[in-house]
Structure 1
Amino acid sequence: MPTTSTGSKSNPARHDMSVILVTGSYDHEIRFWEAWSGICSRTIARTGESGQVNRLAISNDKRFLGAAIHKKIHIYDIGSASSDPILVLDKHTNNVTSIAFNSEGQWLASGSEDSTIRIWDLRSPGNIVHRTYENGAPVNDVIVHPNQGELISCDQAGSIKQWELTDNLCSHELTPAGDVPIRSISLASDGSCLVAGNNKGQCYVWKVNDESTSLPRFQAVTRFLAHNKYLTRCLLSPDAKYLATCSADTTVKIWSISPGYDFKQEKILVGHQRWVWDCAFSADSAYLVTASSDHTARLWEMASGETVRQYNGHHKAAVCCALHDGAS
């Protein structure tokens, strides 16, 4: 993240495409930002279109932006100035709540309030759904396992499920708090640890064991109350040393993680005026971006816990953000 645009008075700084920072809002707009200047460099206005932007995802190669917009998923070419999507995926029948690219950007997984999880083959013409999983309850979050062979989802019925891509089935199910809805899940980049947060602000943590061992796949190690109000997002840092939790209480909490899975509250990031809906870490785990109902997004420095940049421009709640500043 510390890369900045370079320029002089006669040669103004140009947008540094090595850092892609995007926010989505209930104002229907998607905005690209210059991370360090705070300038909005591009707006996908979607004039005349209805549908709020629920989630955003950037492909690993930085070519594509996926946007979950009401019942549809729009795929945008990040390198293009066009506001028109290059693909519209439209088989869901209710709000799309979560999207995730696979590591090579060849397919996309999506979860929806229509109680299905779908896998879309982005290489196929004609908006092809490669696979559909019937979840039985509205899906709140879905992530692709680093091994690219499994999905993990969570839902309104309080379940966390692992789906096998090869066998087309649910192989494991966890219900840590009965029927309390699980809002958000995050898996360590090496697949070793799973964290889930629910509507009551509780976080649950499992050590993920290799299938080849005799140990359970998901071994419960701890749980803790992260917030006294609704939890909206939990996210492990790329180095798996920190957990960020976002909440209706207007704060973001940063938790350090010991090798023995002891979670200790390190910092409370204070500054947003309303609900904080989403967050994204920089590749080096040194910065965090957040999106809030107060219409703004913020860039936080993890070491100090201070806001180093605020992004103003949305005129309704900013509910999702995506950041990709690593190697493509």
Structure 2
Amino acid sequence: MTIRTLSFLFLLLSSLTLQAQVQDSSYIDELKEEISILKTTELIQSMSQRSEIMPSYHTELKALIAKQAYDFWVENEGEKYVSHKNVYAALYYANKYLNYDSTTFQSYNQVMAHSESVVSLKFGPDSSTFYSAGSDGRVLKWNLNDIKGIPTVLYQGDHLIKSIDVSHDGQILMITSKSDGIFFVKTKDILSEGETISHDPELVQNATFFPNEYKYLTVNQSGQIRIKGFNVDSTLNRSNNQAVNTIMIDESGKEVFLGGKKGQLEIINDRSDSSYFIPELFAINALAISPDKKLLAIGREKGDAVLYDLEKKKIKRIISGHQSAVTDVDFSNDNQHLLTASRDATTRIWDINNSRVMPLILDDHEDWVFCAKFTPDGKRVVTGSKDKHIRVWTIDFEQLADRICQLVDRNLTADEWDEYVGDTFSYQETCPNIEN
């Protein structure tokens, strides 16, 4: 073997050794980065939970820990499949007790204007206005941007209200009662008690307006589908005789979905009348169609929500997590999230496309949640409960975090930082806008 060959082999071995060392060094750096991310995630979880369980009389400390956990969470590069749930809970309850009225036990996002259960909520075309109906027979009109303001009473009667709906142009409100038929009122008029512009006395199981028309559809007590309106009154017999809990009409107005007490989904159009059998039949309490018209959400008595693919005509996913019946469902306008309300006193927000993501849990009602809706901008959720309260939940993390710094008047002390953060991060001001 020549000297030249030996020299070449030596250079090759040196090169391979150097590459291995570089690769080992790179691998070690990656491991260190992963460990740092995991340690930060653990710290975020710990801080969020400590904030949440902290007594409400430590208002500012509770809020500052939640805000600092949020800041670490935003900056951390780790997966947020679980941590977002804890960060949100900490931010929400921190905000709840800032400016909390301990005399009336009223928090910033809560109002009570109904004297009985809030059973139905509805948004119209005006994104700043929503309507609520209660077991007290009242229908109220609310300004979303002034939730603490006094609502307008649109209707007051001695009827047990099942649901409400708003016409496509926002001009007419339809009130479906349990034993007195359907009442219609104008949304812009303040009527005297019990006054209506129209009354359909036929007893119905449920009713809804057609999209983009003044026509409305009902299922009467005999199970017939009735289509009514100006110069319109037709009847369609169904092949299925199950009692109907909820109705949904697609945007074209050509396809009707009925959710029944026997757990069957009925799909009716001008060509067919069919029943889709869902595994493990449980009563269907709520239906919603996604804004992109691709999915139908089905809220069931079992406590789950079924996502039905309208294009492929099959179940896409069954979402489980509630401890009691699902009472309402709604889609966010970006088609990314599903809202479910339940008799377990919670409302949950699910990622539609990623089942690994834990839901946000809105859990501050004291009794069954009967109804829940996303606001049109998708940044808030409105809920109505058997506890007689309506809550407007901000689900934008940044808004909740910013509100904390608007309401506290100090930062964490050095000792508090050592107690709740430790030496993982050097001290920093949680709210730099506050003058010390």
Query: Which of residues 260, 267, 276 in structure 2 aligns to 1:198?
Result: 260
- 8 Å contact kept, 1:155–1:181: no
1:225 and 2:287 equivalent?
Answer: no
Q: Distance in 2 between matches of 1:324 and 1:174?
A: 36
**2:115 maps to what in 1?**
50
Matches within 5 A, 1:161-200: 161-164=226-229, 166-167=230-231, 170-178=233-241, 180-200=242-262
Q: Distance in 2 between matches of 1:61 and 1:38?
A: 27
Q: TM-score, normalised by structure 1?
A: 0.76
Q: Distance in 1 between matches of 2:239 and 2:130?
A: 33
- 8 Å contact kept, 2:163–2:176: yes
What secondary structure is seen at the aligned counterpart in 1 of 2:275?
strand
What secondary structure is seen at the aligned counterpart in 1 of 2:146?
coil
- 8 Å contact kept, 2:341–2:347: yes
Choose 120-129 or 276-285, whichever is displaced more: 120-129
Shift of 1:138: 4.1
Tell me: CA distance 1:293–1:155, structure 2 relative to 1, closer, same or farther (3 Å): farther
**1:312 maps to what in 2?**
363
Shift of 1:149: 2.3
Tell me: CA distance 1:88–1:221, structure 2 relative to 1, closer, same or farther (3 Å): closer
What secondary structure is seen at the aligned counterpart in 2 of 1:278?
strand
What secondary structure is seen at the aligned counterpart in 2 of 1:219?
coil
**2:41 maps to what in 1?**
none
1:298 and 2:348 equivalent?
Answer: yes
What secondary structure is seen at the aligned counterpart in 1 of 2:216?
strand
**1:131 maps to what in 2?**
198
Query: Which of residues 76, 100, 120 in structure 1 aligns to 2:142?
Result: 76
Shift of 1:118: 1.6
Tell me: CA distance 1:223–1:139, structure 2 relative to 1, closer, same or farther (3 Å): closer
- Which of 1 and 2 has higher RCO (CA within 8 Å, sep 6+)? 1
**1:64 maps to what in 2?**
129
Q: Distance in 1 between matches of 2:291 and 2:190?
A: 33
Matches within 5 A, 1:1-328: 42-46=109-113, 50-70=115-135, 71-82=137-148, 84-91=150-157, 93-127=158-192, 128-135=195-202, 137-140=203-206, 142-164=207-229, 166-167=230-231, 170-178=233-241, 180-207=242-269, 218-226=270-278, 227-258=280-311, 263-305=313-355, 306-326=357-377
Q: Distance in 2 between matches of 1:124 and 1:130?
A: 10
Shift of 1:302: 0.9
- 8 Å contact kept, 2:328–2:370: yes
Q: Higher helix proportion, which one? A: 2
Q: Distance in 2 between matches of 1:307 and 1:162?
A: 42
Q: Distance in 2 between matches of 1:198 and 1:281?
A: 21
What secondary structure is seen at the aligned counterpart in 1 of 2:359?
strand
Shift of 1:308: 3.1
Q: Distance in 1 between matches of 2:317 and 2:165?
A: 28
- 8 Å contact kept, 2:349–2:359: yes
- 8 Å contact kept, 1:97–1:139: no
Cα displacement string for residues 85-138 of structure 1 (whole angstroms, at most 9, x for unaligned residues): 2124024x4221111112332221111102411211123332441211122x34
Partner AA of 1:230 in structure 2: A
Identity of aligned residues (%): 20
Q: Distance in 1 between matches of 2:235 and 2:246?
A: 17
What secondary structure is seen at the aligned counterpart in 2 of 1:147?
coil
Tell me: CA distance 1:96–1:63, structure 2 relative to 1, closer, same or farther (3 Å): same
- 8 Å contact kept, 2:168–2:214: no
Partner AA of 1:118 in structure 2: F
Shift of 1:325: 2.5
Partner AA of 1:287 in structure 2: H
What secondary structure is seen at the aligned counterpart in 1 of 2:116?
coil
Shift of 1:326: 4.8
What secondary structure is seen at the aligned counterpart in 1 of 2:253?
coil
Q: TM-score, normalised by structure 2?
A: 0.58
- 8 Å contact kept, 1:158–1:176: no
Partner AA of 1:133 in structure 2: D
